[in-house]
Structure 1
Amino acid sequence: MTKLTLLELRSPPLQFGGAAHTSDPKAGLEAAGPFDIRFGSARKETINLGVIGPPALADDARRWIDRVSAGIPVLSASTALRRPFPPFETVFRKSLIHTDFMTVALEGEADPIELALAHADPFDRFQAVVDLYGEALDRLSRRDVNRPDLVLLCLPDAVVEKCRTVERNSTEDERERAKAIRKSKASRQGDFFDVLDEIEEGADDLLKRDLRQALKARALAARLPIQLVTSRLLYDSVKGEDPATRAWNFSVGIYYKAGGIPWRLTPPGPDTCFVGVTFHHFHTRQRHVVQSSLAQAFSSEGEGFAIRGTGVPVTPGQRLNVHLSEEQAFDLGARILSEYLLRTGRSPLRLVIHKTSHFDDAEVRGFGSALADVPIVSLVTLVPSAVRLIRFSQYPPKVGTVFSLNGSRTYLYTSGFIPEIDTYPGPHIPQPFEVRSLGPEDSMISATDVFNLTRMNWNTADVRGKWPVTLSFARRVGGILNEYGDQDPEETSFRYFV
């Protein structure tokens, strides 16, 4: 006989600038302002926005900024899901500043956008567009005066359509070179990563490139955060989101990228470092490696940072079964503690690592050795499950529903009926995660952490979020670091990656 135990967690308690405590980011921001109001005089009163793009689109972007600054009503009845957007300064207690001095218009006797798009080779066309925007971004980043806090990169529809991604296959010579590397690995296992280190590759060696990732990498090199702007944001359409919702999501994103902290979790206990580890493919003309990416979110300060782990060579039949060696897990754990200490001046009392694959024995040993001085260490795996609960209602189970089977397997719903908006906004039956935990803490504590971290995405004001911020952010890191190159960036703040 199967024993079912069920519990509904309360919605994650978020802290804002004032006394309000709510799990709805929009309601909290409107009532109490962003969390960093508490920083007092250390907080800037303005956000200086740069704009790069063709003249007409740049003008439309600046008009959109004016709309956001003035506030935008909803076009129909207001609901918890579709809330009017008040003036930006009313919500965030900062004003948006944009001037001609912080605008770079991409223009000339010949249209530079058209010249870039005129390249017949897709990779040449892609690189020409990246260079065009990257050089304009470099000009703004080198300024001592009128240097923006954030830059809006305005992309015409033609650029998005023709350059969103480019991909090609390896040539015969490149496949032979890759085969030689694999042979070297087979005969000299210990020297394999030395062989990889000898290969100097750049962005043009990647077999697949993504425009967003390439532009984010250029922004990372310039140490100037960016927000990509397309027609979907700037222009009202019956097929798109309503303008007030776009304004909410846009505003939260630029506020964070410009250095602000919109909200944070109520600290649940000891100073905790939450970590997400994912794997991404690094596939070039010469090699195919799976590298680990890490994104971290503090429970107390709220900042996030990105770290790239070492590579795992791809082997036949490997598929999704990628794991770190004991040495790689140790190295990654040591780097987590080093970065945390650098940013906070102290070591965490509790450290939680999230993955979507199980922790094998080598990873457990490696992380255990590196994190031996941390009092509490939990290794948590999230696995999408085929198990479902059926609720006697028109809606599926509430988000935050935790259930266990026979006391041995724990499941969590992070999507489902959302009390804050009084509906389930999804198109299909939601899928729970199975939560597996290694360490001194039980799965209920781990499930509560995961649920709380689904509300920590500072790239949107949307109350919906299936994945915890640790894993959703980590997935954004890999492709950007691929484009950045083999060297680790000077900036690790996640403001540059979202």
Structure 2
Amino acid sequence: MMQAEVLDEPQLEFGGGSGHIDPRFGLTAYGPADLGASDAPTAIRVGMVGPADQLDGLRRWLERCREPIAAKDERYPHLFPSFPGCDLDRGLYTTLVFSDRNTRQVPDRALRGLDKLSRIDAIDASVGLYADELTALAEENRVDLMIVARPEQLKDTRTRRQMRSANRQRGGKDRPNTGYENFHDLLKARMLHVRQPLQIVRRSTWDETTPPSPGRGRQDEASRAWNLHIAMYYKAGGVPWRLRRQATDLTTCFVGISFYHGHDGTSLDTAVAHVFNERGDGVIVRGGAAHISKEDNQPHLNAADAHTLLQTALDTYRREHHTLPARVVIHKSSRFVADEIAGFDSAADARDLDALDLIWITDSEDVQLFRPGAAPPLRGTLLTLSPDEHALYTGGSIEFYSTYPGMYVPHPIGIRAAQLTRSPREVAIELLALSKMNWNQARLDGRYPITLHTAEKVKRVLRFCQPGQAIATRYAQYM
């Protein structure tokens, strides 16, 4: 029988163990979750690389963000709150430290030459220019984070169809790497060997006179400051917020598994896993090749590769955290087949796990709920279609915001469990909380759990890496 209920919005944990449902209000009231910890970043040494005509303006804007920035709209004070500023006595309780010594200019002459190149060659050339400067800066080991002022004139995205057309125009020869699509992903891939994460910033983020790129909107200034500073705090090793857990809860590790094409664009899909704990630490593990099932035309792992992937993920987790979790939850964007279940179960047995949950998260459901009036369903609405099928609205109207903050009709994600040690309702509450663990945005209404959101982001970077290339294990290197 079909049933629906609205789940309470899960709280997150901030400084002093205090809780709030919204990251921005929690940070403003209580500070970050690691406030006062010996390893919390109270001073973030920032390196800067980019064109000369951007570096001064970007630095001035970041220094201005030490002070509060007014809210956008008084009609929705919870949706568009002010930015409290970022300094030792407010906001994230840290300060950005700049130095001319840690600032490197990308030569204007070289950047002007990009206009003469095809779009693919311009992306490749610009990444090379930036990678040289970033590598030199990283090797000096004087910074915790490197901010990249993205070249303004560079056109960003390229579809596979456009790339095939361009390759034909250049003589019909495909480049060794057919995944060239944008500056962000390729530069991240080139810089996975350095310790310091990158924060790539567009000019339209800090310069109100520069319009955003076609197809991209621009948030209000306070929201831009929130998103950027939270991301930088996390990349510098901080913990902005964490999941709340009861003392009686099992220590849980969440694993998101996704698949991507290899660097040549023709190899079988390869698995990548994001291993994530309640504290917010995320590590990345690359698995073996997958095969496309004739039954659903989706990538899957054989039993041995599923076993190896989970075992490697747990070993990586143990090296990072010096312990193993009691419970592991695996999220996957395709259904679990028998071989995968057998492989994951055998790995769990080998590591003496107390509990293993296997959950297929579908992108959308062929079901739609309506409320009286024009407002969409509330975020947190859980619809039970059958004992094994559930739909969860991670987007929708939000009472705390007094509005629906989206642009389009929200669609629920589907929950299909192959193996559960918790009730579907408990799993849905967990998914709602995990949808709030994205440190690239400060609002509370992420669509996907961070496990799958991260895996999708990571695979966009890893497809530019050679199969045997060593990769960074810390998620901050990819975001």
Taking structure 2 as the reference length, the TM-score comes to 0.89
Deviates more, 1:77-86 or 1:352-361: 77-86
Deviation at 1:407, TM superposition (A): 4.0
Output one character per residue of 1:299-355: Cα deviation in whole Å (capped at 9) or x when no partner. 1x310011111123568x788411111111011011111011111111111000001
- Is the CA contact (8 Å cut-off) linking 1:437 and 1:446 kept in structure 2? no
CA distance in 1, matches of 2:42, 2:282: 23
Q: 143, 148, 168: which is aligned to 2:143? A: 148
Matched, 1:495 2:469: no
Q: Aligned pair in 2 of structure 1 residues 486, 408: CA closer, same or farther (>3 Å)?
A: closer
Partner residue in 2 for 1:252: 230
Where do 1:124-139 residues align within 5 Å? 124-139=121-136
Distance 1:392 1:122, change over 3 A: closer
Distance 1:221 1:335, change over 3 A: same
Contact 1:283-1:289 within 8 A present in 2 as well: no
**1:319/1:369 Cα in 2 relative to 1: closer, same or farther (>3 Å)?**
closer
1:207 maps to 2:205: no
Q: Contact 2:260/2:269 (CA < 8 Å) preserved in 1?
A: yes
Describe the superposition over 1:35-74 as per-residue Cα deviations: whole angstroms up to 9, x where unpaired: 11142x3333201111111111111111121121222113
Equivalent residue number for residue 264 of structure 1: 242
Name the residue aligned to 1:409.
389
Equivalent of residue 198 in structure 2, options 226, 238, 244: 226
Which one-letter code corresponds to 1:309 in the other structure?
G
The question of whether the paired residues in 1 share the 8 Å contact of 2:72 and 2:80 is answered with no
| In structure 2, distance between residues paired with 1:58 and 1:17 | 33
Bigger mean CA deviation after superposition, 159-168 or 77-86: 159-168
Out of 135, 154, 159, the residue aligned to residue 154 of structure 2 is: 159
1:458 aligns with 2:448: no
- Deviation of 1:16 after TM superposition, in Å, equals 0.4
Matches within 5 A, 1:169-188: none
Q: Shift in Å at residue 81 of structure 1?
A: 1.0
Q: Cα 1:463–1:324, aligned 2, differ >3 Å: closer, same or farther?
A: same
The yes-or-no answer on 1:334 pairing with 2:298 is: no
- My pick for the range that moved more, 447-456 or 158-167, is 158-167
CA distance in 2, matches of 1:76, 1:273: 39
What is the CA–CA distance in structure 2 between the aligned matches of 1:320 and 1:493, rounded to whole Å?
31
**Residue in 1 that maps onto 2:67:** 70
Q: Paired residue for 2:34?
A: 36
Deviation by residue 1:178-214 (Cα, 9 ceiling, x = unmatched): 9xxxxxxxxxxxxxxxxxxxxxxxxx61112132111
Distance 1:48 1:297 in 2: 26
Measured on the aligned residues, the alpha-carbon RMSD in Å equals 2.6
Cα distance in 1, alignment partners of residues 100 and 196 from structure 2: 18
**CA spacing shift, 1:397–1:163, aligned 2, 3 Å:** closer
Out of 97-106 and 237-246, give the one that drifted further: 237-246
* Structure of larger gyration radius: 1
Residue 288 of structure 1 pairs with residue 267 of structure 2 = yes
Quote the residue 1:480 is aligned against: 461
| Equivalent of residue 4 in structure 1, options 2, 5, 21 | 2
The amino acid that maps onto 1:52 is V
* Aligned partner (choices 394, 400, 407) of residue 427 of structure 1: 407
| 2:152 counterpart letter in structure 1 | D
Deviation at 1:393, TM superposition (A): 4.0
Q: State the distance in 1 between where 2:147 and 2:328 align.
A: 36
Other structure's SS at 1:131 match: helix
Contact 2:262 2:270 in 1 (8 A): yes
How do 1:330-369 residues align onto structure 2 when only pairs under 5 Å count?
Answer: 330-369=307-346
Q: Distance in 2 between matches of 1:260 and 1:456?
A: 13
AA in 2 matched with 1:264: R
Asked whether the equivalents of residues 236 and 242 of structure 1 are also in contact (C-alpha less than 8 Å), the reply is: no
The aligned counterpart of 2:53 is: 56
**Structure 1 counterpart SS, 2:125:** helix
Q: Counterpart of 1:448 in structure 2: which amino acid?
A: I
Q: TM-score, normalised by structure 1?
A: 0.86
Q: Which amino acid aligns with 2:151?
A: P
For residue 274 of structure 1, give the secondary structure of its aligned residue in structure 2.
strand
Please give the secondary structure, in 2, of the residue aligned with 1:72: coil
Please identify runs of 4+ aligned residues in structure 1 that moved more than 4 A: 161-166, 169-172, 317-320
Structure 1 residues 113-132: aligned runs within 5 Å: 113-119=111-117, 121-132=118-129
SS at match of 1:158: coil
- Provide the C-alpha distance between the structure 2 equivalents of 1:76 and 1:12, rounded to a whole number of angstroms: 26
| Residue 466 to residue 161, structure 1, CA distance change in 2 (3 Å) | closer
Q: Cα 1:490–1:277, aligned 2, differ >3 Å: closer, same or farther?
A: closer
Number of residue pairs aligned between Structure 1 and Structure 2: 459
Letter in 1 for 2:404: Y
Map of 2:214 onto structure 1: none
Alignment check: 8 A CA contact 1:153 1:226 kept: yes
Structure 1 range deviating more: 93-102 or 478-487: 478-487
Cα distance 1:161–1:324, how it changes in 2: closer, same or farther (>3 A)?
closer
Residues 75 and 351 (structure 1), Cα distance of their counterparts in 2 relative to 1, 3 Å cut:
closer
Give the match's secondary structure for 2:454. Answer: helix
- Match of residue 425, structure 2, among 438, 444, 456: 444
Q: CA deviation at 1:408?
A: 4.4
Cα distance between partner residues in 2 of 1:318 and 1:235 = 51
After superposition, where does 1:375-390 map in structure 2 within 5 Å? 375-383=354-362, 384-390=364-370
Shift of 1:360: 0.3
Q: Determine what percentage of the aligned residue pairs are the same residue.
A: 30
Mapped partners of 2:337, 2:269: distance in 1? 17
Corresponding residue for 2:102? 102
CA contact (8 A) 1:410 1:444 kept: no
* Partner SS for 2:132: helix
Would you say 1:86 and 2:84 are equivalent positions? Answer: yes
Paired AA for residue 84 in structure 1: S
The structure with the greater share of residues assigned to helix is 1
Residue 164 of structure 1 and its aligned partner are, at CA, apart by 9.7
Partner of 2:449: 468
Counterparts in 2 of 1:486 and 1:405: CA distance versus 1, 3 Å: closer
Q: Is the 8 A contact 1:12 1:455 kept in 2?
A: no
